[in-house]
Amino acid sequence: MTFEIERRALLTKQEFERVKAYLDENARFLGRRTFASYLFREPGFLRIRIENKQVTITEKAGDYEDIGREERNTKIKYEKLREYLARIYKEGFKRCAEVSTERYSYEFSGVNVELNNISSLGLIAEIEALTEDEAKRNSLDKKIKETIRILGLKELPVVRYKKIMAKIYDNASKNTLEIS
């Protein structure tokens, strides 16, 4: 089982550029990516991410307040997506929000820092770490908080993030995910 420990910060354009410049000089650049994500919240959290006809399905358990939510990622072939969607629609996953993301990823002080421009959300930094060792969650959370401090960011409170995500979902199309 994998746990994702994650904290976020909303960014202004100036903060985004400042943090990106700092990371370009002081971190290991992992790459720039663009992708579409389809977020389902009912009956549980499920994300389908499509990038260059590659599909990653992410299931998460737990709540945003948890230090380290359980996360499981599965890759499927794009050609199998229609079949997968038919199955999850039968399980009650009908409505999703679509967001597009441009992401710059870095490794810094043992954690990942992702600078994102996300449609419907704006500029946001995600500072995260993954572990399979449940006992490491608190120490990784401290490392993430220290990274936020070093980068001069203000953490986005979980309650506010949940409200933002609820609004994105509530404004989502009631249509199911359509693929071509």
**Three-class secondary structure of residue 41 per DSSP:** coil
| Token pair of 18 as six digits | 């400042």
Local confidence band at 1 (pLDDT 50, 70, 90 cut-offs): confident
CA 50 – CA 60 distance, rounded (Å)? 17
Annotated domain spans of the chain: 2-170
Q: Which residues contact 66 (CB under 8 A, 6 or more apart)?
A: none
Residue with tokens 């550029």: 17
pLDDT above 80 for 172: no
Q: What is the number of residues in the chain?
A: 180
Q: Which residues contact 35 (CB under 8 A, 6 or more apart)?
A: 49, 50, 51, 100, 101, 103
Local confidence band at 177 (pLDDT 50, 70, 90 cut-offs): low
Task: Output phi, psi for 159, to 5 deg.
Answer: -60, -40
Convert the pLDDT of each residue in 89-140 to its tens digit: 999 888 888 899 999 999 999 999 999 999 988 999 999 999 999 999 999 9
Convert the pLDDT of each residue in 63-83 to its tens digit: 888 889 999 999 999 999 999
| Token pair of 140 as six digits | 């990784």
Question: What CATH superfamily classification does 2-170 receive?
Answer: Hypothetical Protein Pfu-838710-001 (2.40.320.10)
**Three-class secondary structure of residue 62 per DSSP:** coil
| Average pLDDT score over the chain | 92
CA 149 – CA 168 distance, rounded (Å)? 28
| Token pair of 44 as six digits | 């549980």
Convert the pLDDT of each residue in 14-64 to its tens digit: 999 999 999 999 999 999 999 999 998 888 889 999 999 999 999 999 888
